[in-house]
């Protein structure tokens, strides 16, 4: 479930940021290059998360920690950008950076916890493994 939220969210946000980059540059008062990096990173991450979602649960669990750390690192990067661009970007631009940091960082924490609870040999729906990660 979490990985599904991850890849769908990354795909939607990445696609929207890339397709609306010109308009968002004005609205956010952020450089188009930064929005390009953010859009491409979200799409790339969506691809990795989608691939991970296709794996069997037992194969997925060790990689879920890597995904969780990547999410938390992205959250730190977005937070840093929010600090750097505070006072230069619009309230919408800084708000987007903070919202992405909170959402992605929170998702990373949930994924880290889920990876710690999930038995490596359980399949989705198993009594030992519970629901999907």
pLDDT tens string, the chain, 133 residues long: the values are 777 888 898 999 999 999 999 999 999 999 999 999 999 999 998 998 898 888 877 777 778 888 899 999 999 999 999 999 999 999 999 999 999 999 999 999 998 998 877 654 444 433 334 344 4
| 42, part of any domain | yes
pTM over 0.85: no
Burial 52-73 (b: 16+ CB within 10 A, else e): bbeeebeebbeebeebbebbbe
| 25, part of any domain | yes
| 130, part of any domain | no
| 124, part of any domain | no
| 35, part of any domain | yes
Question: What's residue 81's pLDDT?
Answer: 98
The residue count for the chain: 133
| 126, part of any domain | no
Question: What's residue 118's pLDDT?
Answer: 60
Structure tokens at 133: 């990660």
| 127, part of any domain | no
Structure tokens at 130: 């519970």
Question: What's residue 55's pLDDT?
Answer: 82
- Domain extent, residue 101, equals 2-117
Q: Is 33 exposed, middle or buried (0-12, 13-18, 19+ CB in 10 A)?
A: exposed
Number of domains, the chain: 1
């Amino acid at each position: 479930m979490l990985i599904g939220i991850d890849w769908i969210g990354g795909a939607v946000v990445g696609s929207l940021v890339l397709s609306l980059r010109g308009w968002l540059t004005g609205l956010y008062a952020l450089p188009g290059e930064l929005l390009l990096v953010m859009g491409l990173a979200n799409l790339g991450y969506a691809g990795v998360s989608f691939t991970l979602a296709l794996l069997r649960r037992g194969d997925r669990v060790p990689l879920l920690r890597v995904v969780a750390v990547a999410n938390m690192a992205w959250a730190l990067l977005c937070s840093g950008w929010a600090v750097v661009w505070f006072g230069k970007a619009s309230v919408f631009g800084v708000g987007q950076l903070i919202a992405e940091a909170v959402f992605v960082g929170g998702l990373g924490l949930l994924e880290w916890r889920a990876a710690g609870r999930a038995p490596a040999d359980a399949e989705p729906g198993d009594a030992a493994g519970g629901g999907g990660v």
